[in-house]
Every structure is written in structure tokens, then in C-alpha cells.
Amino acid sequence: MPDPSSLTEPFAPQTAPEALEDLRARLRATRWPDAPEDAGWSLGTDVDYLRELVAYWADGFDWSAQEAALAQLPHFRMRLGGLGIHYVHVRAAAPSGPVLPLVLSHGWPDSFWRYTKVIPLLTDPGAHGADPADAFDVVVPDIPGYGYSDRPAGPPLDSIAVAGLFAELMGALGYARFGAAGGDIGSHVSRYLALDHPDRVVAVHRTDAGLPIFTGDPAELTPEERAWFEDVAAWGASEGAYAAMHRTKPQTAAFGLTDSPAGLAAWIVEKLRGWSDCGGDVERRFTKDEILTNVTLYWFTGTIGSSMRMYSANAAIPPAQLARRVEVPSGFSIFAGDVVRPPRAWLERTANAVRVTEPASGGHFAPFEEPELYAQELREFFRPYRSAATH
């Protein structure tokens, strides 16, 4: 394995004061759309809520304090595949047994931000009322085109290519074998880590199974699977316009979302509300500061366009790749408030599902919504595979 010190360099996010002033000026100059009376969230982001959020963003939100808090984590960048890859790397604190390296892959619309609450629970479980023997070395990379990683100058990378980069990253950090976990696009990345690197990935944990692809005889599907396919189709018809835009014309949307911070916030906050277990009140799960930290990361890194373009790349993945079955031991935590929740029969059809749980609270952003519960899910699932990473 290469010496990681020769490949990596510490990274300290720091926003220039003039960039922050430009953001505030743009927020104060927002040109607001009209909306039908009492439309609320029925047609997309609620105008009244967004006005309140933008006013706070302009004159109350302390980005410098949030940036400093994020900087308390150990950030690094490493050049892989011609791209600078940003990652957070925290080693286990005072481990009392074998330490399992774990790479956590995020999704859209977020970044390493998704895992900021859960990192200390995984690396130092003893300090949080759990068994110190369950400590992990945690690596949380930003997918290229997200967060502080470079944006690909050429064609966007698909989940297969990203999995290859993350496997290379883990090797460069000295981890010959490791666990992988993720949700949303990060679930796809984790899946391809297990598919393409089964000799290195000891086990894989996911919070979803992606959208279903099945090319066989529908009669082979169980009634639960067929019902799920119908639910997914209905969800796509009512909620999937964003994904169709991302897959087909992401660059068109990128102009407005890169130029208007209010537009960017509208695009993201609607998903935080719609996909989380919040009962329609987004601030039941995310404070204004937490919402705006995520959105501001997108704003200052200029990554909304590059993040959306990954949908286009993933849409071009050949069906044969999508149909591959994961044979690496797989765990699934299907949180009650998530969208398009697959039945166990589908999980067992598509993966070597050795553990499937259905936590009663939490949604699509489970590591952020329910960090303690998510951390416990990972500890319990990976516990039997710890020693495998040391051999």
C-alpha cells in the first residue's frame, strides 16, 4: 500500500469575506415568485417558508461559525484519477478490539454533511454509552462534483467509477479490507464497491435498494414486490420531476440554481422536507442552521450543477450492471420515513441480505435525522465482520 502521507494533504475550508458579502447581497435582492393562495408545499417549496429562511440566511445565519465547527473534523484531500478528492478521516478512539475501517458514501442533495453527526458515535462509541469494541476508523469522502471534491471537467462520473475511486482511496489510506455503507446515490456507490471489490469489502450496509430494475418475467415477482413496483411508479409520477431534469437537462437548471441562492435553497429544502421523517415540518428534523449549512456548502463550492449531472451518468449505466446480485454480506436498514421502501423479498433477490431491519423513526437522511439509531444499526450489523478486516 502507498504511504498516505505522500498522497494526501490536510484541508481547511475557509470562505473569503467578499464571497460571503456577495451571498448576502444576492439574498437581499431576491426576486420572489407569486404563488396561489394557500398553496403551501403542494406545488413545491412554500413561498412563505422560504422567505423566512432566506431572511435568516441573509441577516442571522453565522456561516463562519458553522464553517469553523465543520473544520473541527480532520479534513484532507487526495489526488486520485486526476481529481482532488476531499474526505474526512477519523480514526477510532481508544479501541478495545479489532478496528473495522468504514467508508461512508453520501447522496444528493448533500455531501459529507450527511454524516457529521454520526462520525463521533462511530469512532468513539465508548464516549456515547456504547461498547468501545464497536469503534470504527471512519472515512467520509465527497463524491467528485459534490462538496469540497473537484468537479469533473469532462463527462460526469457514474456510481461505478466513484466506487473505484473510493476503493483506491481506502487502499491509499492503508486499508486492505473494509466495510462500506451509504444511502441514496451512496447506496449505489456502496453496492458497486461490494460488486467490484468483493475481496476487499467485508460487508456492505445500505439504507435503500435504489429504484428497481427487473428484466425477467413479472410472474417471478412476489405480490409484495409487484406492489412495490407500482408504488415506485406512482412516486415517480408525483415526485420524480427533479430526477427527470437531473437525468436529461441538468445544465439548464444549473444556470438558475448557481446564480440564485434563494432558488438553490428552494431546490434543496423541498427534498429535505419531502424525504425526511418530519411529518411536513422540516424543522422537526433540521434546524435552520443545519439546513443552511448544507445549502451554503453547495453555494460556495458551486457544485449544484455537477452534483445533478451525476444522475445523467447513472442513467447510462448498462442494465446488465444494474441486474448484478451482491454476494458480499449485506445489511439493510429501511427507515420508516424513507421514500420507496423495498420489501424484504426484493432485498433478498438482489443481495445476500443477512440482516434487514425497519427502524421506526427516521427517513432518507437517517444518519442526520437519527444519528444514534443509525450508529447502532451499523455497530450491530458490522460486529460479526470486524475480524475479517484484520486478516
How many other CB atoms are found less than 10 A from the CB of residue 281?
10
**Contact assessment for residue 366 and residue 341, using Cβ atoms and an 8 Å cutoff:** no
Q: Is 302 left (phi over 0), alpha (psi -120 to 50) or beta?
A: left
In 3-state terms, the chain is what percent helix, strand and coil (to 5)? Answer: 50, 15, 35
Q: Is 161 helix (H, G, I), strand (E, B) or coil?
A: helix
Residue located via cell numbers 483506491: 168
How many contiguous H segments (helices) and E segments (strands) does the chain have? Answer: 16, 9
- Decide if 184 is catalytic: yes
What span, in angstroms and rounded, lies between the C-alpha atoms of 27 and 42?
24
How far is residue 188 from each of residues 196, 261, 340, measured CA to CA in Å? 12, 29, 15
Alpha-carbon distance values, 195 to 190, 293, 331, 351 (Å): 9, 34, 14, 10
Q: Could you write out the three-class secondary structure of 223-276?
A: HHHHHHHHHHHHHHHHHCHHHHHHHHCHHHHHHHHHHCHHHHHHHHHHHHHHHC
Of these residues, 46, 364, 374, 385, which one is catalytic? 364
Residue type, 150: D
63-84 burial: b if 16+ Cβ within 10 Å, else e: beebbeebeebebbbbebeebb
Q: Could you give the CA distance from residue 107 to residue 271 in angstroms, rounded to a whole number?
A: 12
CB 388 within 8 A of CB 202: yes
Q: Could you say which of 150, 184, 208, 277 is catalytic?
A: 184
Burial label for 347, CB within 10 Å (0-12, 13-18, 19+), is buried
Which of 192, 311, 374, 385 is flagged as catalytic? 311
Output DSSP code: residue 116: T
For residues 190-201, one letter each, b for 16 or more C-beta atoms within 10 angstroms of the residue's C-beta and e for the rest, the string is bbbbbbbbeebb
What is the rounded distance in angstroms from the CA atom of residue 127 to the CA atom of residue 350?
A: 37
Rg over CA atoms, the chain? 20
Catalytic (active-site) positions:
184, 311, 364
